[in-house]
Structure 1
Amino acid sequence: MTQPFASPAVRDAFAAFPQPAHDTLMSLRAMIYEIGETLPIGRIEESTKWGQPSYATPKTNLATPIRLGLSKAGDPAVFTHCQTTVMSDFRALAPANMAFDGNRAVHLPVHSPPNLNELAPLIRAALTYRL
């Protein structure tokens, strides 16, 4: 079942993403909620930060926020806070063909569906950052 959008702002942020980036980012959104249900982190709150969908756990404060958006090149991307070790830790374990923007983002292919299973460790690490 698809999780309803938390607000019109989140719905509009997703609606603004061009195809096929929209589909990729919606799949990532679903994965964030699916992984979150398996972890002792409390409720995931969906909001917008800098116009991008953002996911955090404000009641437990265990996650570092995850944002979904487009890179400067227009690729779908997953962003985490650059002052955490989440992205650098993931980068050390990620497949060599993944494209990164320093410690803040991983870029996903726009013309072929990404292997979402490869991103699961990143999502899990961000959701449990302070656990």
Structure 2
Amino acid sequence: MRRFGDAKVAAVFKAYPPAVRTRLLALRELVFDVAAATPGVGRLAETLKWGQASYLTAESGSGTTVRIDRPKGRDDGYAVYFHCQSGLVETFRTIYPETFTYEGKRALLFGTKGRAPVRALRHCLALALTHHVRKKSGRAT
């Protein structure tokens, strides 16, 4: 497991119920892995935004912020949040209409039971982490 550089972020993870914490820690690792494997993304900055663990492409500016958390009031699920005006969730819905559970224009939702569709999720994270670069070049996916 990757070490936390920010004690406040670590405290947020520690406060989650165990099943949610396990899934969110795995999701956190996936975000870092996708960033490392995606050309042009560079090192991520991990911080809190709105009390949620947030991952920014601070080094390259290549993408939009990716946030992870549990949906409010739920102890049986977790989510990946994206800027609602980015159009990313609409893109994901077009590419993966049956793969994810969506929350409006801002999130992919998961339950603590069952398996997350990792291959598709990796693709979505890579699209988010390169969103600004693709937007400037006119490429959607």
Alignment TM-score, normalising by the size of structure 1: 0.91
Q: More displaced, 108-117 or 14-23?
A: 108-117
Is 2:69 the counterpart of 1:69?
A: yes
Which shows bigger deviation, 32-41 or 78-87? Answer: 32-41
Task: State how many pairs are aligned.
Answer: 130
Aligned residue number for residue 125 of structure 2: 123
2:100 alignment partner in structure 1: 98
Give how far 1:73 is off. 5.1
Higher relative contact order (CA 8 A, sep 6+): 1
Q: Identity over the aligned pairs, expressed in percent?
A: 28
Cα distance in 2 for partners of 1:78, 1:111 equals: 16
Q: Which consecutive aligned stretches of 4+ in structure 1 deviate over 4 angstroms post-superposition?
A: none
Whether the aligned pair in 2 keeps the contact of 1:24 and 1:113 (CA below 8 Å) is: no
**Displacement of 1:118:** 2.5
- Higher share of residues assigned helix: 2
What CA distance in whole angstroms lies between the structure 1 residues aligned with 2:33 and 2:99? 25
Mapped to 1, the partners of 2:96 and 2:117 lie a distance apart of 12
CA deviation after TM superposition for structure 1 residue 115, in Å: 2.7
For residue 111 of structure 1, the aligned residue among 97, 110, 113 is 113
Q: CA deviation at 1:116?
A: 2.1
SS in 2 for 1:4: coil
Which residue number corresponds to residue 45 of structure 1? 45
The aligned residue for residue 27 of structure 2 is: 28
1:103, CA displacement in angstroms? Answer: 0.9
Given that 1:63 and 1:127 are in contact with CA atoms closer than 8 Å, whether structure 2 keeps it comes out as yes
Structure 2: gaps of 5 or more residues: 134-141
Mean Cα deviation higher: 95-104 or 79-88: 95-104
Measured in 2, the distance between the counterparts of 1:6 and 1:88 equals: 33
CA RMSD of aligned residues (A): 1.4
Cα drift, residue 117 of structure 1: 2.1
Q: CA deviation at 1:21?
A: 1.3
1:56 maps to which residue? 56
- CA displacement, residues 33-62 of structure 1 (integer Å, 9 cap, x when unaligned): 111112211210000111110001123211
* 1:71 alignment partner, SS class: coil
Q: Which structure 2 residues correspond to residues 5-24 of structure 1 after superposition, within 5 A? A: 5-24=4-23
Which of 1 and 2 has greater Rg? 2
* TM-score normalized with structure 2 length: 0.85
CA contact 2:99–2:117 (8 Å) conserved in 1: no
1:103 is paired with a residue whose SS is: coil
